[in-house]
Amino acid sequence: MDTTLDDPLVGQTLDGRYRIDARIAAGGMATVYRALDTRLDRILALKVMHPALAADAAFVDRFIREAKSVARLAHPNVVAVFDQGTDGPYTYLAMEYVSGCTLRDVLRERGALRPRAALDILEPVLAALGAAHRAGFVHRDMKPENVLIGDDGRVKVADFGLVRSVDTVTSTTGAVLGTVSYLAPEQIENGVTDTRVDVYACGVVLYEMLTGDKPYTGGTPAQVLYRHLHEDVPPPSVAVPGLAAPLDELVALATARTPDLRPYDAAAFLGLTLDARSRLTDAELDAVPPQSRAEERSSAEDRTSVVPRVPAPQPVEHTSLLVAPLPVDGEEPPAQPAPSRSRRGPLLVLAALLLILGVGTGVWYISSGQFTKVPNLLGKTEAEARSELSAAGLGVKRVDRKFSDAFDRGTVMDSDPQGGKRIRGNGAVVLTVSRGPAVVVVPDVKGRPLEEAKAELTKSGLAPGIVTQAFSQEVPQGSVISTNPDGGQKRAPDTAVSITVSKGRPVPVPSVTGRPVDQARAALQDLGLKVETAADEINSPFPAGTVANQSVGAGAQAAAGDTVVLTLSKGPRQIPVPNVTGQEADVARKTLEAAGFKVKVERPFLSFSSTVDAQSVLGGQTAPEGSTIILRTKGL
């Protein structure tokens, strides 16, 4: 049921600026509205804290912390925060409006996703969280509701309301904020949160995307919390038979109950995700999941809430994954307790750890001449990599392009197989070429020649856009006056950058009409202008052979080197003269002027007649257009 009409804020304007048009979503702590920024005339999302919580300094502080944290990230996969303020009882955040839906909406409608679609969503989520982790923040509330999928396919992470600085994370007592279905065991036991709790939540989200359901369910939130503490997340292939092993490994790595067995942060998990994708065939990536929808359950499991913390239990063998330390030379390996549950979970975790460390198991059957070692291509340009592969007798299967902060745009950031690995002779290698950083700093190209500026923009991962010209007293002709956006600003790769190029100092163009063509040409060329003569001549009041028209008008400004086209005169047009003798002088004047002539009336001395007695050019004869016809009136 649409409750927008029942909301007292709909139709109101906050802070004299944000007009609230409709409610988007409501939660336990805040409501999100679609609003119009009347000052900048743009649609945005307005997140308004419930007035009952505005008196709680801790909640207000969390609101402000969210604004400051997200403002520092400036990442294309993070919902941007534009403004924060208070209007009476309402504390709000003005945020980027993403037209689309949430991942929760997708899962409710479609159920399980194909692995390719799941990874296409997971990777930008991890990129956003990786940026947050590198900036020193932990999200703490990752779930499908906080993953927005725009109508244009962009994926963005929202709701950094529970963000916490990594440097200030400590154990808490009593309760923990979060969503029960995605809480890591250490959050439940002792309230400790670091980057690995986000990794755990992403592992649960991946499981849910691959299977269409959460790994843990229960009649009450307490039952779900208990299962987080005491059960391993099952491999998604148990729920969806046929899913590839690398997907099971990813889920097992991210959801290990022991934090030290998980990837340290989202950036590390992203690297493992990219590696897993590279090991999947197209058929495995596009495997069709069962046609079922995610089971509808109480929204209590999906809502951010204050969850009572579960006291840490006494250590027992069946609640912890024990990893034996390596024996020191001369020592006996320590005895291991006999596990009382399936060994599948620990083996999956161990296998994943081996993958992280690059340790493989198996036997290579290598015969001389049958296998070739892949050259190390990291950091090489694509052309250099192709050349080296060709020299080794290898080809290129395909080229993938991905963002990277570590590798320059256009250089190889990964290969499959990797450098040093062996591949059957005449085999092909998949290259992953860097697109450069996900956010590009626009280079400052002011004062540089146009072609040089275009090359610099292209090298930086941007697209040279529309080129316009303007006069400049300071910047030499052909060099860049300015760009839009300006140098130093951050933009997404391949953003078009418009360029304004100097035409040099303006040259005032003089009037040369009516002048002989040679004089006119010399006057213009002395000012640094080029001169051309039109092929056709025209009739004009000016004498034949003189300039009748110039393409750049007198008083206009031109640039040095601009061309002025001169059109020469054939002289005035010869037109017939009407016969006006016998007419009244005023009538005769109007008749001749209408025909294209000028008129002069002469009256004899003491003549009081206004009748035309004679005209200087007889009626029926021709005269130059615009010439003067003299009329004489009758005398005494």
Same domain, 456 and 480: yes
Domain contains 386: yes
**pTM greater than 0.75 (yes/no):** no
Strand 412-416 and strand 490-491: pairing? unpaired
Set 141, 213, 232, 248: catalytic member:
141
pLDDT at 337 over 70: no
pLDDT value of residue 626: 86
Domain assignment present for 346: no
Tally of structural domains, the chain: 5
Between 437 and 522, name the one with better pLDDT. Answer: 522
Average pLDDT, the chain: 81
Say if 323 falls within a structural domain: no
Check whether residue 520 and residue 488 sit in a common domain.
Answer: no
Torsion of CA 234, 238, 239, 240, to 10 degrees: 130
81 and 207, same domain (yes or no): yes
Q: What is the pLDDT of residue 293?
A: 42
> H/E element holding 444?
none
Is 154 within 8 Å of 160 (Cβ atoms)? no
* pLDDT class of 347 with cuts at 50, 70, 90: very low
Q: What is the pLDDT of residues 81-131, one digit of tens each?
A: 888 888 988 889 899 998 888 999 899 888 999 999 999 999 999 999 998
- Same domain as 538, residue 593: no
The pLDDT tens digits for 509-557 are 999 999 999 999 999 999 999 999 999 999 888 999 999 999 999 988 8
pLDDT at residue 313, rounded to an integer: 41
Same domain, 537 and 585: no
Cα 355 from Cα 271, distance rounded (Å) = 12
Residues 588, 559: one domain? no
- Residues 496, 594 share a domain: no
Sign of the CA dihedral with 557 first, then 560, 563, and 567 last: positive
CATH of the domain at 490: 3.30.10.20
Return the CATH number at 19: 1.10.510.10
Instruction: For residue 6, indicate whether it is catalytic.
Output: no
Domain end among 434, 463, 480: 434
Residue ranges of alpha helices (H) inside 329-409 are: 344-357, 382-391
Number of residues in the chain: 636
Split at pLDDT 50, 70, 90, the class of 172 is very low
Q: What integer is the mean pLDDT of 362-373?
A: 43
Whether residue 344 is contained in a domain is answered as: no
Q: Are residues 275 and 288 in the same domain?
A: yes
Residue appearing with tokens 């006119």: 520
Q: What is the mean pLDDT of residues 499-512?
A: 92
Whether residue 150 lies inside any domain: the answer is: yes
> Is 329 domain-assigned?
no
Q: Of 434, 459, 478, which marks where a domain is finished?
A: 434
Asked whether residue 376 falls in the same domain as residue 464, the answer is no
> Are 172 and 75 members of one domain?
yes
240 in any annotated domain:
yes
Q: Is the pLDDT of residue 461 over 90?
A: no
The tens digit of pLDDT for each residue in 243-276 reads 999 999 999 999 998 999 999 999 999 999 999 9
Do 237 and 247 meet the contact criterion of CB atoms below 8 Å apart?
Answer: yes
- Boundary of a domain, candidates 478, 501, 524: 501
User: Are residues 515 and 609 part of one domain?
Assistant: no
Over residues 432-460, mean pLDDT: 90
Section 365-371 average pLDDT: 38
- Contact 256/262 with Cβ under 8 angstroms? yes
Sorted by sequence, the CB contacts under 8 Å of residue 545 that are 6+ apart come out as: 516, 517, 568, 569
Backbone angles phi, psi at 162, to 5 degrees: -100, 15
pLDDT of residue 244: 94
pLDDT at 99: 85
Domain housing 55: 4-312
Domain membership of residue 363 (yes or no) is no
Query: In this structure, are 476 and 530 located in the same domain?
Result: no
